[in-house]
Amino acid sequence: MSSDTDIYKHQNFGNKLGIGDKAALLIVDFVNGFDDPDQFGGGNISEACDNTVSLLAACRDMGMTIAHTRVVLADDGSDDNIMAIKVPALKTLTEDAECSQIVERLTPRPGEIIVRKRLPSAFFGTDLAPNFSMRRIDTVLVTGCTTSGCVRASALDAMCYGFRPIVISDCVGDRALGPHEANLFDLKQKYAELMTRDEAIAELTSRQAQAAE
């Protein structure tokens, strides 16, 4: 019996993208509510959040552009959307709600981008794409949650806007491992490149050292 990847290899899917000339780190929705299994979390989300701490530190040390996202809906329900109909609990993610605040261990620093979004993608209905373009970003390291939802949507839109999406496989998580693994497989074959946290740090560090020579 052929493996799941055989047909992709036969049709020449899954080619490498590589990191381009200038990368940014995108941290998708690592907020308190998604760090809590009793709210929106579970699965390997908290572990992925923990793994992102050292990646964030490394990217900061290298002076990279950092962007964080939050889902923020209006207190009065005036901007509720289809996603909020599917998952009504999302209506609790308002500007001042504790569940909508970025987790303490990934607290943004002054100068880092904070994107408030109402839908899955970090790029849809926001100014993130032109912001990255203004900074001459060509590659986006994608971390966050959930792999099957906002991470996938953000990676796909990054590709559509012409950025190379590099999904950091151990820094993304989902409340169920089946969707997590299936979406990593699909992203790798068609839309993005996968790297582990340590692989990404090593690659970025090597490039920075070469540029300094």
Residue type, 76: D
Give the active site residue among 59, 150, 160, 171.
150
CA distances from 58 to 29, 53, 75, 113 (A): 20, 9, 36, 17
Q: Write phi, then psi, for 8 (nearest 5 degrees).
A: -65, -45
Contact (CB, 8 A) for 20 and 136: no
Sign, Cα dihedral of 170, 174, 175, 180: negative
Q: What is the DSSP letter of 147?
A: I
Residue given tokens 């692989």 in the structure block: 199
Task: Reply yes or no on whether 171 is catalytic.
Answer: no
Active site residues per annotation? 150
